[in-house]
Amino acid sequence: MLITIDTQNRRPIYQQIADGIRTLIAGGDVAEGQPLPPVRQLAADLGVNLNTVAAAYRDLQGEGLILVKHGARAVVAPRDGIRQDDGELRLPLRNVLAQMVLAKMPRGEILSVVSDELYGLLHGSES
């Protein structure tokens, strides 16, 4: 499972892990029903505390992206299990766009970045 941790990033590591898994699921690199690595294994692979990975898994479970059964491995939930309203989805996007505007990125560059990222999510596993 290809997840990278950026120690220079201000976001907590558990959020970076959850974001990485979210991206893999959205891009189809991790399929519905596919098991995720055990917490201990992923923590060892990433060189982080196992509680950090457990926190990421809890977040993903709370979002309905993964299913965790006590004593069993976490698996990717069926896509129909993901429930978020439009406002919940727009808020993080709005925050990132605001950061780009504050960084004085030109509108065309912002649109290009958004388009490239969307393309990567939709077609990344085919490339």
Query: Looking at the domain assignment, is residue 76 inside a domain?
Result: yes
Question: Are 73 and 60 members of one domain?
Answer: yes
Q: How many domains does the chain have?
A: 2
- Write down the pLDDT at residue 83: 58
Note whether 5 and 46 are within 8 A (CB).
Answer: yes
Question: Are 96 and 76 members of one domain?
Answer: no
Token digits for 88? 């919940």
Question: Are 17 and 64 members of one domain?
Answer: yes
Reduced to 3 states (helix: H, G, I; strand: E, B; else coil), residue 3 is: coil
Query: Looking at the domain assignment, is residue 2 inside a domain?
Result: no
For the chain, what is the radius of gyration of the CA atoms? 16
Note whether 64 and 88 are within 8 A (CB).
Answer: no
- Average pLDDT across each block of 10 residues of the chain; the chain has 127 residues. List them in order: 90 96 90 94 96 96 89 86 66 88 95 91 64
What range does the domain containing 104 cover? 86-126
- Write down the pLDDT at residue 76: 94
Nearest by Cα to 35 from 16, 50, 57: 57
Query: Looking at the domain assignment, is residue 8 inside a domain?
Result: no
Question: Are 17 and 71 members of one domain?
Answer: yes
Question: Are 48 and 19 members of one domain?
Answer: yes
Question: Are 28 and 74 members of one domain?
Answer: yes
Query: Looking at the domain assignment, is residue 3 inside a domain?
Result: no
- Write down the pLDDT at residue 82: 56
Question: Are 90 and 77 members of one domain?
Answer: no
- Write down the pLDDT at residue 127: 41
Place of tokens 């709370």: 62
Question: Are 96 and 77 members of one domain?
Answer: no
- Write down the pLDDT at residue 126: 47
| 28-33 contacts, C-beta under 8 A, 24 or more apart | 28/124, 28/125, 29/2, 29/124, 29/125, 30/1, 30/76, 31/76, 32/76, 32/77, 32/78, 32/79, 33/75, 33/76, 33/78
**What CATH number is given to the structural domain containing 19?**
1.10.10.10
